[in-house]
Amino acid sequence: MTAAGYVLGLLSILSGLAIADLVVSLNRLIRAGGKVKWDWLAPLGAAIAAASVVVAWWFGWQNTLDPAYTPSFGRFFVSLGQMALLFLLSCAALPDDVPDQGIDLRAYYDANGRYFWGLYALLTTSFLIKDVIISRMGDLPYMVLGLAWAGFTLVVALVLAFSRRRWLHMLLAPVILALSMLPNLGWSLQVAPV
């Protein structure tokens, strides 16, 4: 196994734990039935976290397809930090349990929003620095596109982190979901043949 394969293995474990936390939390909400007052923004946050985990893992997997890719310790350490942020984001998206008196997902989202979107802004900043600026220094078109995507995403995440206006969250959170999938829809089509 190559060094990149070992790195992907560890990052895959964190990715799996993040997805598992989302699924377990969703299962608890569904099984609680009438104790849950549903609101669509909290599950949307879970979808954003899940999409972000999958896209990050996908790009990590693509790196292992390049025989010349050998991650340095610094790059590995930053990637590990990014996956840890993705894990925290996934854990923050939905409540861990449903108390006996029930739970209101709108109240949960409102109380948890600054933490969730702050994590998302931090994660976007880390991807902007490592994956766009450092990793693609010589690839100007990719850098410009990546800077535009990550810069806009970062601004939107910061607006959501600091705004309590529900209409902004209802408008911009779906935009974040679309933006979290965008890199995977176009840029990842350059996969090396297996």
**Distance in Å from the first CA to the final CA of the chain:** 16
122-168 per-position pLDDT tens digit: 999 988 887 665 666 666 676 777 777 788 889 999 999 999 999 99
Distance CA(15)–CA(25), nearest Å, equals: 16
At residue 124, the 3 state secondary structure works out as helix
Asked if residue 98 has pLDDT above 70, the reply is: yes
Confidence of residue 171 (pLDDT cuts 50, 70, 90): very high
In order of 11, 39, 41, 89, 186, the CA distances from 86 in angstroms are 11, 23, 18, 5, 22
Q: Please give the mean pLDDT across all residues of the chain.
A: 84
Distance CA(125)–CA(168), nearest Å, equals: 21
